[in-house]
Amino acid sequence: MAIEFLLNPSLHFPDKRHRKQHDKCKMCFTLETPQWRSGPDGPSTLCNKCGLYYKRQTRKKIQN
């Protein structure tokens, strides 16, 4: 089993089909972020930067 793991690189890294849904931001399409945030499409759909921007914009609309 250990030798098979070393010889077969597909066992080292998960296939793209098995990625979690929130691995790509719905607005800027970034793959890495310190925190995933909620957006218009639900929880964990926006990266940190886009999530904060979205939150700020929705607050401004509510105040006006």
Q: Considering only CA atoms, which of 61, 23, 20, 33 is closest in space to residue 51?
A: 33
For the chain, domains (ranges, CATH) are: 21-64 (3.30.50.10)
The 10 Å CB-count burial string (b at 16+, else e) for 19-34 is eeebeebbbeeeeebe
Q: How many beta carbons lie within 10 A of that of residue 38, not counting itself?
A: 13
pLDDT per position as a tens digit, 15-57: 444 445 558 999 999 999 999 999 999 999 999 999 999 999 9
18 or 12, higher pLDDT: 12
CA angle 59, 31, 22 (to 5 degrees): 65
Give the pair of three-digit tokens for residue 47: 């990266």
